[in-house]
Structure 1
Amino acid sequence: MATPQAMPLDHLVINTRFATDRAAQLFAALGFTLTPRGRHAMGSVNHLMVFQDDYLELIGLPTDGGKLREEVLNNPAGIDGLVFSTGDADAVHRDLTARGEALQPLHAFSRPVEIDGASFEAGFRTVRFQADQFAAGRVYFCQHLTPQLIWREPWQTHANTVTGLAGLLVVSERPQDDALRYAQVAGGAVGAPGEHGELRISGARYAIVVTSPEDYARRYGDLACDALGRSSFFGAIGLRLRDPRAIARALASAGDGVRHREVEGRSAVHLTGFNSLLDFIDGNDSF
């Protein structure tokens, strides 16, 4: 019997708090194309880096005295969100509720999007867990009501040749328990342990990899993110690219906003001031 795949990945999130402008400049220097700044009515701002089927989101807080979104304000800067894709948020909410999961109410919202001088409303419906369900960060499901306003060709081409999300690395003091938990909510299965004991939940084009703090430190050394006292945290985002030379060129001129080196034949990049780590994956290599 084939191993069940986890449900599709919609996007991953980095919390930039009040430094969204600085983060956007840093990602642009790394060769990403960023969408214009968006603003949510609940008190957050964002930029997206849109790929073929998914995207990376920078989410932060406004600095003009406006309303502040509590779930962003209450969390530290760093990799902060794991978001699965669904075409039916109601069905996901019903299924998870029936399984006894602790959920927030189904949330519908929109934000303005400007395209070619015209204004549109991008609509979303999300299913979110209660804040205490995952020590590593926010986990939720997103239904796009207007995907044509997000996945636009001008935003999907990046100078660094990144084409999509390769995965998310979760660092946990209890890898087996956390791997089973993520597999449970994602609808996938935990594979056999890897060479260093890491556990993998595979989706169609990505993987959630759960590993111990010791293996994480062995792999990334001084590029590793700070656990900030958490028993589990999101330790790295995997990004798939076509040409490793493109990210090498970007890193050569990125300045003091990053620390980087080659890790297992790939470019690993720590974002200074944002407690985040990017791991650039060549082609179809596994994360």
Structure 2
Amino acid sequence: MAHYLTGLDHTLIGVSDLEEAKKTYEKIGFTVTPRGSHIGWGTANYCIMFGEDYIELLGIVDDARESNGLDTLLEERGEGLLGMAFASSDPERTRSSLQEAGLAPSELLDLKRKLELPEGDVIPEFKLLRLRPEGLSERNLFICHHLTPELIRRPEWETHENATDHIKSVVIVVEDPKSLQDYYKRLCGVLNVTLTDSTLSVRVGRMTMIFVSDNDLDLLFPGLVMDGDFPEFPYLIAMTLAVKDFSQAEEYLSGTDLTVQKIANGALRLSPKETHGVVLEFVAS
């Protein structure tokens, strides 16, 4: 793939109460890792690991410390999908390639977090590259490389009662999807970008970013009710998860007290009121 990008690394869901979000996602059928905390900040996370990507639940645990803007985001837009990170096989070469393409990457940034394991804390380390993505903010899209992947992946963390295997797509509401196609061709490769009517699809590994306007939301999510005014664009509204065994996912979810909607294409949908602000769909892989 272009610029040594290998696919999606993870998505981020901002939550107001991290411990409550952990309980919610366990009820949905996910195995949640031990808690991590960002060194020097007042934020912490729980992760939901799949084979190649993962979901990060991100919250504030110390109001007196820097939250990297999460407090403002939660106040202004509420809980929900905050962004996503692409994976890089070689962050130095990725940065050089992006520079040559005129895509203005940041310097390589160091990130560490403490992961609280029963046998003792460990310190996973990462390299980050910030972007200036069109149609999105720097927080919505960045690049992540794991220096210590063995610390955050264990086989028992990648098995889920709802049978989820990987993140299939993310839906993003923007003002004008068509205007973004040139930028994402340069970032992700011409063959990975498709414009259909007013919907822009961008393939990244086996995940697809789907850019839509608010005029198309009723077609994608009929009957969806948003609390309050619609947030400012861009708005990451939905995430689709591919499951290994759809019957297992359906049986598990139907046994919870969650309101599960089976939609016309066969997917199982949970409303943002039950998932801390994100439309969550499960489909057969």
TM-score by length of 2: 0.84
Q: Which amino acid aligns with 2:84?
A: L
CA gap 1:203/1:225 in 2 versus in 1, 3 angstroms: farther
Task: Classify 1:209/1:187 alpha carbon distance in 2 versus 1 (closer, same or farther; 3 Å).
Answer: same
Q: Deviations over 1:12-61 (max 9, x none)?
A: 11111x31112111110010000011100222110111001111111111
Tell me the residue number matched to 1:14.
Answer: 13
Pick closer, same or farther for the CA change 1:8–1:178 going to 2, 3 Å.
Answer: same
Give the partner amino acid of 2:167: L
Question: Counterpart of 1:200?
Answer: 201
Cα distance in structure 1, aligned partners of 2:96 and 2:265? 42
Residue 24 of structure 2: aligned partner: 26
Q: Summarize the Cα distance change of 1:174–1:5 in structure 2 as closer, same or farther, 3 Å threshold.
A: farther
Corresponding residue for 2:242?
240
- Pairs aligned (count): 278
2 CA distance for matches of 1:138 and 1:9? Answer: 13
Measure, in 2, the Cα distance between the counterparts of 1:5 and 1:89: 8
Alignment match, 2:60: 61
* Counterpart pick for 1:165 among 163, 167, 172: 167
- In structure 2, relative to structure 1, the CA distance for the partners of 1:113 and 1:82 (3 Å cut) is same
2 CA distance for matches of 1:159 and 1:35?
A: 14
* Cα-to-partner distance string for 1:87-109 (whole Å, 9 max, x where unaligned): 33233333334444455443202
- Residues 14 and 80 in structure 1, CA contact (< 8 A), matched pair in contact too: yes
CA shift in 2, pair 1:11/1:29, >3 Å: same
Q: For residues 43 and 95 of structure 1, do their structure 2 counterparts lie closer, same or farther at Cα, with a shift above 3 Å needed? A: farther
Q: How does 1:145-224 map to 2 (within 5 A)?
A: 145-187=147-189, 189=191, 191-194=193-196, 197-223=198-224
List, as ranges, runs of 4+ consecutive aligned residues in structure 1 with deviation greater than 6 Å: 2-6
CA contact (8 A) 1:31 1:159 kept: yes
Aligned counterpart for 1:91 among listed residues 83, 90, 93: 93
Structure 1 unaligned residues grouped into runs of 5+: none
Deviations 1:213-267 (CA, angstroms, capped at 9, x unpaired): 22222221233667744233212111110222333334334436x5644242111
Say if 1:5 and 1:203, in contact at 8 Å, map to a contact too.
no
Partner in structure 2 of residue 270 of structure 1: 271
Which has the higher mean CA deviation after the structures are superposed, 92-101 or 267-276? 92-101
Map Cα deviations across residues 69-122 of structure 1 (whole Å, 9 max, x no partner): 123223232111121001332333333344444554432021122445133210
Question: Does the residue aligned with 2:235 lie in a helix, a strand or coil?
Answer: strand
Question: Does the CA contact (< 8 Å) of 2:27 and 2:256 recur in 1?
Answer: yes
Which amino acid is 1:255 matched to?
A: D
Aligned residues of 1:9 and 1:54 also touching (Cα < 8 A): yes
Amino acid at match of 1:149: L
C-alpha contact (below 8 Å) 1:225/1:235 kept by paired residues: no
Compute the RMSD of aligned alpha carbons: 3.0
Confirm or deny: 8 A CA contact 1:270 1:278 kept in the other structure.
yes
* Separation (CA, whole Å) in 1 of partners of 2:240 and 2:36: 24
Q: For 1:70, what is the secondary structure of its paired residue?
A: coil
* Secondary structure, aligned partner of 1:208: strand
The farther-off stretch of 154-163 and 170-179 is 170-179
Q: 2-side partners of 1:183 and 1:151: how far apart?
A: 32
Once residues 96 and 188 of structure 2 are traced to their aligned partners in structure 1, the CA distance between those partners, rounded to angstroms, is 15
Measure the CA separation in 2 of the matches of 1:230 and 1:15: 16
Q: Deviations over 1:117-142 (max 9, x none)?
A: 13321001101135997259521000
